[in-house]
Structure 1
Amino acid sequence: METSHRDYLFSMLYHYCSLLSLILSTAMHILIIFFSNYHPIYHLILTFITLLFHRFFSAPQIHVIDFSCLKPEKHLRVPIASLLEHFNLVKRFDKESITFMTKVITSSGIGEETYLPPSLRLIPVSPTHEDTIQESHMLFFPTLDELFAKTKVLPQEIDLLVVNCSGFCPSPSLSSIVVNRYNMRSDVKSYNISGMGCSAAVLGIDIANRFLMRRRERAYALVVSTEIVSVGWYNGKDRRKLLLNCLFRMGCAAVLLTNQRQTGTLQPKYLLTHLLRTQNAYDDSAYNSASREEDDEGITGFSIQRHIGKAVADLVTSHLRLLGPMILPWEEKLKYVMYRLLHKKYVPNFVKAMKHLCIPSSSQTLIKTVGKGLGLHENALEAVLATFHRYGNQSSSSMLYQMAYLEAKGKIKKGDRVLQLGIGSGLKCNSLVLVCVRDFEIDLKDNPWGDCLHQYPACMH
């Protein structure tokens, strides 16, 4: 909390200094008008001073250079029929549990091309610590190799590393695994985030944003988001915990950020303009809606309560009350105020505030609940529904798979705004807004949708 408070004060100092430079510049212009008879040399001096103030006292803009998403190896693909057969073969589930999981999977909207790690394909399923470490290698290394190759940034140039994985927190940490593999510098700042669910990707970018804003020289921050699904596998009978077996799949994404507008010959893709974090953990209903716990037989699993839909709706509503004034156009703000004065309900049109939306691909039901709360039609949810169908629930990395889908479809153009809205256990809601700063060509070989893009969105129906 103390560090966060210092960062906030540091950021505010930048803004106040920028305002002070504007006031001083205006005052000096007035003095010139009245006392200098518009001599050109005074204007040149004033311009130089203004630029100097802007250089040293304005907050740097944070850009996303690029990102990459893992496409797992084909031999890890798990068609629905194979997964249902696997449930029967492991001999750990009773008939009622198998019937329940079958119903959930076949009605969930998940497709035939999702992936599970090798440890969950064994009979019986009993992932060891070594299995989960190997799974982290399968997730991290191909994703980061691709990102470093695309951006031409060396691992030794990274100044900050943030790795988030909700369910697995080993020692040495996951961030240490990355530092060791890529032989990063001894002074690289590394953070490891756990237990934050689907909201962790935005949290990681928030940490990167605060770090980069304090650096005057060029700096790079790397944020890696994933989930180790082996540790989430549940062998018991509690239906609230069986949902993870049905919906969670392999996925990993990495984002490279910088505090410079241009890095060598490579221009960033996106500018970070807004970032907001809220939570309802103080409310017992929200706090208990999703948690990791033991069942009556002592088997540990992640429980999802029936009331989570309402808890998420309340959380998103409270979050949007704060986010709306930051991003909505003036006409929508006025409409909202007028309806409130008339004691009528009005859902602002967030489509006017952003071109694209990325939310956690948790399940079709939750996706549509959040979409309804934002006043969006199903067409606006194409990217998230396609991601859930093709890759399942990938926790915090899913929003970047949606970005990759939008890029592959050619839907993101220069000037478009993208809203990423992450919702995690606790409950907490984190969001950020990115603005596309240039047009770019997409190489489908480096895109996780490259070989199946032609099937979407038709195959979802």
Structure 2
Amino acid sequence: MSAAESDSPAAAGGGGVRIQQSRRLPDFLQSVKLKYVKLGYHYLVSHLLTLCLVPLMAVIVIEASQLDPDDIHHLWLHLQYNLVSVIVCSVFIVFGVTFYIMTRPRSVYLVDYACYKAPDKLQVKFNQFMEHSALTGDFDESSLEFQRKILERSGLGEETYVPEAMHFIPPRPSMAAAREEAEQVMFGALDILFANTNVKPKDIGILVVNCSLFNPTPSLSAMIVNKYKLRGNIKSFNLGGMGCSAGVIAVDLAKDMLQIHRNSYAVVVSTENITQNWYFGNKKSMLIPNCLFRVGGAAVLLSNKSKDRKRAKYKLLHVVRTHKGADDKAFRCVYQEQDDAGKTGVSLSKDLMAIAGLALKTNITTLGPLVLPISEQLLFFATLVAKKLFNAKVKPYIPDFKLAFDHFCIHAGGRAVIDELEKNLQLLPEHVEASRMTLHRFGNTSSSSIWYELAYTEAKGRMRKGNRVWQIAFGSGFKCNSAVWESLKNVKPSTSNPWEDCIHRYPVEILL
């Protein structure tokens, strides 16, 4: 409560409240006025070409209607006498159009995707998590208290999943258990995807799998090839060590492959493995992943076949990737290492959010001109010129990305990540709802979290034809990657949507 409010007579009756409201009314009217001025500006600039062409077309039509029939006849005779010129021009036009069609980038369609939902027996409640941590005997009292505080402030709910090996006392991490977790997640998502799309595994020409911390031999991609008996000439890739943003990297790689191979299907599988990457030491910065990361994965079917446009959900518009690994601080801010006791874990630097902010700034600087309306680009450019050339003391203009996107899928890496992007991009609570609810229900599922968020939006019935979706993720290295999709229809949730049995309970209130 402000000083003005505390000194007001509001506590004595309703009159004081009304006085406060009346004082704020001019400010409210001023904000409404500015809002509509800005909307009018955006409408004017966005439709400037149309507004200029309409009068021009009207003038041309009027002039054409006043032409004498003799003038039209003379024009036709002139064209007949210059037949060679007409033919040459026509050939050049046909050649140019053909060359454009043959060399333009092929459209990439997202036919469907599936997210893995673990069985209820793998759910872990906060008290169960803390009880198991205490019984392992590896954590001191300070570490246990630290984990308890992280859990309480994390934004996670009581229904997230940890792998089966972590439910034993003591835990039983092993190569066999890690393989079992990987198989359950990847095959679970792929089974749903193949069933929903009616695509046969033999029809898949490109396979991209990303998992940062678990890279066995044979690879995870080879495990999928073996399970589904994929064809021998499949182009398969296995991306490791690329962090939570690797899902967008995998989509970008699949997109590039689809530009080369005609009439092909590409499957992208994004997951993370927890079984062999649980930290059992007492270094605080390495305990945070234990509290945030949970079981999850997604499988995505992409196509460059024109016939798939009718049944596809989305079309891929842009992928923008930013890598800050040249900077030593950025390179080490998410770092797998051993502590002083020789126990392996992933350390998160205290500079993580600052580095993520710099990576985001670089990423949106590239993405902005591709997606923002010209009105926003002009405002940004004008502010930049005023600051650089005239040394004007003006705040940097933050483009309004709400004018470019209808839905935001921000990687659910943690509450702080979502808070920071909500603040920096000036988003509203409804824009980050999918991210917050995904973190609450499924935890940080690494590179697959952006797909759980998209599934949430679909389950809520909010995806309309023509809507644009911005998927943005951060990962070790340090990287910030963005993918932009356009909805091709009013999207309904697919069968076995991970939210189908609980969407009626969301959104939930999250205590911060």
Is 1:389 aligned to 2:440, yes or no?
yes
Q: Which moved more, 1:372-381 or 1:41-50?
A: 41-50
Read off the aligned partner of 1:351 and give its amino acid letter.
K
- 1:249 match: secondary structure: coil
Query: Given that residues 208 and 237 in structure 2 are in contact (C-alpha distance below 8 angstroms), is that contact kept between their aligned partners in structure 1?
Result: yes
Choose from 182, 185, 205 the match for 2:231. 185
In the TM superposition, 1:107-256 aligns within 5 A as 107-215=153-261, 217-256=262-301
1:448 aligns to what?
498
- 1:458 match: secondary structure: coil
Return closer, same or farther for 1:102/1:342 CA change in 2, 3 Å cut-off: same
Read off the aligned partner of 1:235 and give its amino acid letter.
F
In the TM superposition, 1:341-420 aligns within 5 A as 341-343=385-387, 344=394, 345-420=396-471
2:134 aligns to what?
88
Read off the aligned partner of 1:348 and give its amino acid letter.
P
Query: Given that residues 261 and 268 in structure 1 are in contact (C-alpha distance below 8 angstroms), is that contact kept between their aligned partners in structure 2?
Result: no
Could you report, residue by residue, the CA deviation over 1:307-331 in whole angstroms, capped at 9, with x for unpaired residues? 1111111111111111111111111
Unaligned runs of 5+ in 1: 1-31
Give the Å deviation of 1:38: 10
2:368 aligns to what?
324
1:23 aligns to what?
none
1:21 aligns to what?
none
Return closer, same or farther for 1:163/1:54 CA change in 2, 3 Å cut-off: same
Read off the aligned partner of 2:112 and give its amino acid letter.
D
2:117 aligns to what?
71
Q: Which moved more, 1:391-400 or 1:77-86?
A: 77-86
CA distance in 2, matches of 1:219, 1:34: 50
Query: Given that residues 198 and 395 in structure 1 are in contact (C-alpha distance below 8 angstroms), is that contact kept between their aligned partners in structure 2?
Result: yes
2:70 aligns to what?
none
Return closer, same or farther for 1:38/1:75 CA change in 2, 3 Å cut-off: farther
Return closer, same or farther for 1:439/1:291 CA change in 2, 3 Å cut-off: same
Read off the aligned partner of 2:444 and give its amino acid letter.
N
Query: Given that residues 262 and 268 in structure 1 are in contact (C-alpha distance below 8 angstroms), is that contact kept between their aligned partners in structure 2?
Result: no
- 1:262 match: secondary structure: helix
CA distance in 1, matches of 2:263, 2:368: 32
- 2:307 match: secondary structure: coil
Aligned residues: 426
Q: Share of identical aligned residues, percent? A: 38
- 1:384 match: secondary structure: helix
Read off the aligned partner of 1:60 and give its amino acid letter.
R
Return closer, same or farther for 1:38/1:183 CA change in 2, 3 Å cut-off: farther
CA distance in 1, matches of 2:415, 2:377: 30
CA distance in 1, matches of 2:103, 2:80: 28
Query: Given that residues 317 and 373 in structure 1 are in contact (C-alpha distance below 8 angstroms), is that contact kept between their aligned partners in structure 2?
Result: no
Read off the aligned partner of 1:85 and give its amino acid letter.
E
CA distance in 1, matches of 2:428, 2:78: 59
1:426 aligns to what?
477
Could you report, residue by residue, the CA deviation over 1:152-201 in whole angstroms, capped at 9, with x for unpaired residues? 11111111100000000100000000000000000001100011111100
Q: Structure 1 residue runs of 4+, over 6 Å off?
A: 41-48
Give the Å deviation of 1:460: 3.3
Query: Given that residues 316 and 373 in structure 1 are in contact (C-alpha distance below 8 angstroms), is that contact kept between their aligned partners in structure 2?
Result: no
Could you report, residue by residue, the CA deviation over 1:229-249 in whole angstroms, capped at 9, with x for unpaired residues? 112200000000000111100
Return closer, same or farther for 1:36/1:390 CA change in 2, 3 Å cut-off: farther
1:283 aligns to what?
327
Give the Å deviation of 1:106: 1.3
CA distance in 1, matches of 2:320, 2:109: 17
CA distance in 1, matches of 2:77, 2:345: 73
Could you report, residue by residue, the CA deviation over 1:4-51 in whole angstroms, capped at 9, with x for unpaired residues? xxxxxxxxxxxxxxxxxxxxxxxxxxxx99644799x96998886566
Could you report, residue by residue, the CA deviation over 1:325-361 in whole angstroms, capped at 9, with x for unpaired residues? 1111111011111222232211110010111111211
Return closer, same or farther for 1:262/1:363 CA change in 2, 3 Å cut-off: same
Could you report, residue by residue, the CA deviation over 1:239-291 in whole angstroms, capped at 9, with x for unpaired residues? 00000111100000011101123239x61111111111111111111111110
Read off the aligned partner of 2:232 and give its amino acid letter.
S
Query: Given that residues 461 and 491 in structure 2 are in contact (C-alpha distance below 8 angstroms), is that contact kept between their aligned partners in structure 1?
Result: no
- 1:93 match: secondary structure: coil
- 2:486 match: secondary structure: strand
TM-score, normalising length: structure 2: 0.80
Is 1:437 aligned to 2:482, yes or no?
no
Choose from 329, 338, 342 the match for 1:294. 338
Query: Given that residues 415 and 436 in structure 1 are in contact (C-alpha distance below 8 angstroms), is that contact kept between their aligned partners in structure 2?
Result: yes
1:12 aligns to what?
none
- 1:235 match: secondary structure: coil
Is 1:303 aligned to 2:303, yes or no?
no
Query: Given that residues 261 and 267 in structure 1 are in contact (C-alpha distance below 8 angstroms), is that contact kept between their aligned partners in structure 2?
Result: no
Bigger radius of gyration among the two: 2
CA distance in 1, matches of 2:130, 2:81: 85
Please report the RMSD computed on the Cα atoms of aligned residues, expressed in angstroms: 2.1
Return closer, same or farther for 1:164/1:45 CA change in 2, 3 Å cut-off: same
- 2:484 match: secondary structure: strand
Read off the aligned partner of 1:290 and give its amino acid letter.
V
Return closer, same or farther for 1:341/1:57 CA change in 2, 3 Å cut-off: closer
CA distance in 2, matches of 1:398, 1:135: 17
